[in-house]
Amino acid sequence: MDSDETLKGKSNLNVTFESPVTVGIIWVPVSLKMPGKYGWYLAALNPVNYRDFENDPKQLNSWRIEFGCKLIWFNNGKFWLDDDDVTCRVTHWAYCLPVPRY
């Protein structure tokens, strides 16, 4: 059964997918707006040594595509990854999708 057949006749979102589902994410630049409240967000961030890539945007984008998307905590105007304040490395953020319910 392919993923289209899995969805046939289903009227709710509580289905099992056999292949990845692509969902549009709306990325908000931190220069435009920060999250309005504390919580978990999806963040696009630069590597620790991102200043070394200023003259090589291709290499920077290559790193960002492979490693630059993280689930991150936002509180008191700052983004946190583990116990580290990574606010200066975050370029964009997005709301997390709700988890599936049983």
**pLDDT tens column, 51-81:** 787 788 888 888 888 888 899 999 999 999 9
Extract the tokens encoding 85.
């304040």
Residue 62's CB is within 10 A of a number of other CB atoms, namely 13
Q: Is residue 28 part of a domain?
A: yes
User: Is residue 101 included in any domain, yes or no?
Assistant: no
Q: In which domain, by residue range, is 59 found?
A: 23-95
Domain presence at residue 17: no
What type of residue sits at position 43? Answer: A
Q: Would residue 9 count as lying in a domain? A: no
Q: Does residue 52 form part of some domain? A: yes
The pLDDT tens digits for 2-26 are 444 444 444 444 445 454 555 678 9
Tell me whether residue 3 is in a domain.
Answer: no
Q: For position 86, what pLDDT does the model report?
A: 94
Query: Does a structural domain hold residue 47?
Result: yes
pLDDT at res. 3: 43
22 burial level (CB within 10 Å; 0-12, 13-18, 19+): exposed
How many domains is the chain partitioned into structurally? 1
